[in-house]
Amino acid sequence: MFRILLSSRCPSIRTADRAVQLKIGRLVIGDHFIKVNETKYEYGIYQVDCKDKIPYRVSGKCDLNGRWTCDVDEFGIRDYITKGGLPGNNGRDERNLFGSNDLENIPTDSGRLQKLRRILITEKQRYVQLLCFKPEYDPVSRKVKRECFETFKSICRNTARVYKDEELELLISEEIVKEAVKNTDERIKQMEFELLPFENRSSDIRPKFEIRLVITQRDSSREERVKYTGDLHKAGENLMEFIFSKRRNFVIVKTLKSEQRCSNRMPCGMKMRIRNLEIMDNAPMNLELMKPIIDESGFPGKLTICYKQNEEKDYEFIGKFKSLVYSDDSSMSLPLVQRFQNKKVHFLMNSFFFLESDKFFVLIRNWCVNIPMKKSKELRISYQPNHSGYLIVMTVVRGGLLFKTRLNFDPRKF
């Protein structure tokens, strides 16, 4: 990957680099990052004019509420809020901006915002309580300390009020008190950053944002800064276009894994010859994203794909792969098994109910008839657990002789 990094600085090297066929062992295209072999390109939006002079990342997953952000508006308000409103209890089972389940039904954004400000004030009061609290004794057992602290963290998680004396007494050591103070301080900072965009809007303040690309290779890393224009996905598209597009030859990839939750655009003219394709999340969207970049003259030999329940499946496209490794969080069924036309299919099953059903035995019998067993007088199938998982024994009676075939299903491999 040194060649790619060097070519980004020198146009003449870039021209020469495009003439060389790029071969990659493993390529991962994920949420706001690309990993080429051992080199990771990760990009995100940062607010760079914070009071403490430390850039704050606003894109990606929020540790406070678990929400995912791709873009922000001129005030810093997250895209999931501009599209769907401020999260909270409005009749739906939804966590608020601070990640708590608020039992109070507040139908308006302004009402929820006022409630969030009150919660922040209460959190600061609790912080003062922790600073003033002194434990009476320090138990020896770290297990007891940890159990008490976990119990303490669950208190008031969904209720905005100060701590009671008996609740503070769960902090039974100086070490645990310090950890509680640190956690609360970090939580307050996160709360303030989540509320800051709304304060910016009310005061007509437009903070400064930029995209930062961090390139990590083994133990070293470097950073590039790009102006943020309101579309983080465009930065990802430009990055992929720079690395993969406008080459004289298609890119050869041994294994490509796509694990995106965002519907990113693939650059025009980006073509890859892929040996193995892995799609582990949001299967329908990721499969659609991969279609335009696959060089069909050298179609991937193996597809590993994981579907969620009721997700639509493109059987025609999936059938183009020679080998299929398939998993689904719903129960396996005979119609599903029969839809796949690949030469080899490996099912990874969360449940073994299908293996115990009559339909599975029908499938096995039909499969056996196509093997040299047509003249056999009898086919017996027994199903039983064994020390390594599940054992299916097929016994063929032919000319008075017994022939046994065993199929092992080991759940530890799934």
DSSP for 73-128 reads -TT--BHHHHHH-S-S-SSS----TTS----S---SHHHHHHHHHHHHHHHHHHHH
Domain locations in the chain as residue ranges:
21-40+241-351, 49-207, 355-360+367-414
Q: pLDDT by residue (tens digit) across 361-402?
A: 666 666 554 444 455 545 555 555 555 555 555 555 555 554
Please provide residue 104's backbone torsions phi and psi, each rounded to the nearest 5 degrees: -80, 125
Which amino acid is present at 151?
A: T
Q: Which pLDDT belongs to residue 203?
A: 95
Tell me the CA distances in angstroms from 377 to 37, 52, 154, 373, 401, one per residue in order: 56, 83, 66, 9, 10
Please provide residue 130's backbone torsions phi and psi, each rounded to the nearest 5 degrees: -65, -40
Q: In a 10 Å sphere around its CB, with 0-12 CB exposed, 13-18 middle and 19+ buried, how is residue 88 labelled? A: buried
Q: For residue 85, how many C-alpha atoms fall within 13 Å in the half-sphere facing its CB?
A: 14
Name residues of the chain where pLDDT drops below 50.
1-7, 10, 12-13, 16, 369-373, 377, 402, 409-414
197 closest CA partner among 64, 117, 77? 77
Q: For residue 164, give the 3-state DSSP assignment.
A: coil
In angstroms, rounded to a whole number, what is the distance separating the alpha carbons of residues 143 and 80? 40
In angstroms, rounded to a whole number, what is the distance separating the alpha carbons of residues 292 and 356? 40
DSSP 294-335: B-GGG--SEEEEEE-TT----HHHHTTSSEEEEEESSPP-HH
Q: Which residues 6+ apart lie within 8 Å of 61 measured at CB?
A: 67, 68
Q: Which residues 6+ apart lie within 8 Å of 241 measured at CB?
A: 267, 270
175 closest CA partner among 142, 153, 147? 142
Q: For residue 138, give the 3-state DSSP assignment.
A: coil
371 near 343, Cβ under 8 Å? no
405 near 394, Cβ under 8 Å? yes
Helices (H), 204-295: 232-244, 283-290
69 near 58, Cβ under 8 Å? yes
Greatest CA separation found in the chain? 92
> Helices 109-132 & 174-203, crossing angle to 10 degrees?
150
Q: Which pLDDT belongs to residue 192?
A: 96
Q: Which pLDDT belongs to residue 341?
A: 83
Q: For residue 406, give the 3-state DSSP assignment.
A: strand
236 closest CA partner among 258, 213, 208? 213
